[in-house]
Amino acid sequence: MTAAGRFLDDLRGGREKEPGAGELAGVSASLHGSLAFTGKGHATDRAVMLGLMGYLPATMDPDAVDGLIETLAVEKVVRPEGLPELALDPAKDVVFDYDLTLPGHANGMILKAWDTAGNLYMQETYYSVGGGFVMTEAELANEEPDLHVQKEQAGFPYPFGSAVEMLEMGAAHGKTIAQMKEANELATMSRAELDRNLTVIRDAMFDCVDRGLRMDGILPGGLNVKRRAKRIHDQLLAEQGMNRSQPHTINDWMSVYAMAVNEENAAGGKVVTSPTNGAAGVLPSVLRYYREHCIGATEEGQRNFLLTAAAVGGLIKHNASISGAEVGCQGEVGSASSMAAAGLCAALGGTNEQVENAAEIALEHHLGMTCDPVAGLVQVPCIERNGLGAIKAVSAASLALRGDGTHFMPLDNCIEAMRQTGIDMSTKYKETSQGGLAVNIPEC
């Protein structure tokens, strides 16, 4: 949806059309690599179509999606603001290309515009690189490889590109990871804007949990997977105050918060890419656990949670990957669990060294995890996997807080191990639904 929005901006006057092209008349899209193999299950085609209609993720009403897609199938035109009516036939103009893998990234798409005679009017290649970020082919090729240099040039006061640098800067300046991350963010925006953005993200996470806990029924896609979060949540509420709950029931609370989010994701609801849609339930679950179940939880703690988690997520994204199409689910739920562990540890008053330890523990115990969604849908094993990722995050934070921050395996080394494991992992286990659980399903 974001890529299509950028393409519309170019069509509105951001760049020159192809030499000799006539009047703008239509648009089309082709999905490649992982976007082709699992795009239908991930609703990538629907997202592209909605984007070409002019909708954006932050403001899209999930309840309006089905009606818009049905109307497009009948009318076969889109009417984005500031552009003429454009032809778009979903049956012909949105293509899943299973043969051509684009060179820049496993998540690639090509968007094209056509003139009235069917000649190419404009074309752009986009890559979805994780975390909701989209880059053109040129942007990906020219990306600054050294994050430290890039941040220094941009004027960031704490330009750490590794966990070692992060800890050294924290010690040298007497700053927590959250404080350094906040200072870096304030280099590009006002405090009021930062506060507003953090609140928007937090509220979107909690709104998604709440909506998932209210919804019932069967998830779309053909697997007939039942929503379970509401039923489990109702059971947990009924057990409160009865002195009959087992101690491990707290795991059920963490799981149900995460499952609620990922059931919403599977149904096309609004989620926060944290760091990805497929892993979107882990951070909201652990943040909700902190707010609802931890003694002494505060608004400031929630803020520190998000800033710290973002800092760790940035390290993983820069030095390895947060994309299941690149490194398997270790890069999605594994990264999310690491971020959440760091965030919770910080919110509970952990030192920088304890936070780094928590992030490492959570990531280490997701190494090697494959991305093998059944039928290309973000349902099995993804929904439950987010619940387990949340539980691991809380356990990792708790273990780190029991120590003094010293530990054997540094976070940087663990991130590098994930990167190497992803390189060695067979493509069929990297979000193509060609191996693992995706090909070992009940035959009934």
Strand pairing category for 120-130 and 107-115: antiparallel
* Helix 299-319 / helix 352-364 crossing angle, nearest 10 deg: 60
Q: Between 376 and 148, where is the model more confident?
A: 376
Give the lowest-confidence range in 34-38, 189-193, 361-365, 393-397: 34-38
In degrees rounded to 5, what are phi and psi of residue 108? Answer: -130, 150
β-strand partners of 27: 113
User: What are the tens digits of pLDDT across the range 161-198?
Assistant: 999 999 999 999 999 999 999 999 999 999 999 999 99
Q: Between 129 and 412, where is the model more confident?
A: 412
Total-model pTM: 0.88
User: What are the tens digits of pLDDT across the range 339-352?
Assistant: 999 999 999 999 99
The percentage of residues in the chain with a pLDDT greater than 70, rounded to a whole number, is 97
- Mean residue pLDDT of the chain comes to 95
pLDDT for 58:
86
Cβ neighbours of 87 (radius 10 Å): 16
pLDDT for 152:
57
Out of 1.10.10, 3.30.700, 1.10.4100, 3.10.20, the CATH code matching 147-439 is 1.10.4100
pLDDT for 388:
98
pLDDT for 225:
97
pLDDT for 151:
53
2-141 sits in which CATH class? alpha beta
Strand pairing category for 107-115 and 24-33: antiparallel
Extents of the domains making up the chain: 2-141, 147-439
Residue 149 has pLDDT above 80, yes or no: no
Residue 150 has pLDDT above 60, yes or no: no
Q: How far out from the chain centre does Cα 247 lie?
A: 31
pLDDT tier, 153 (very low <50, low <70, confident <90, very high otherwise): low
Q: What is the mean pLDDT of residues 285-312?
A: 98
User: What are the tens digits of pLDDT across the range 229-281?
Assistant: 999 999 999 999 887 789 999 999 999 999 999 999 999 999 999 999 999 99
Residue 146 has pLDDT above 60, yes or no: no
pLDDT for 145:
52
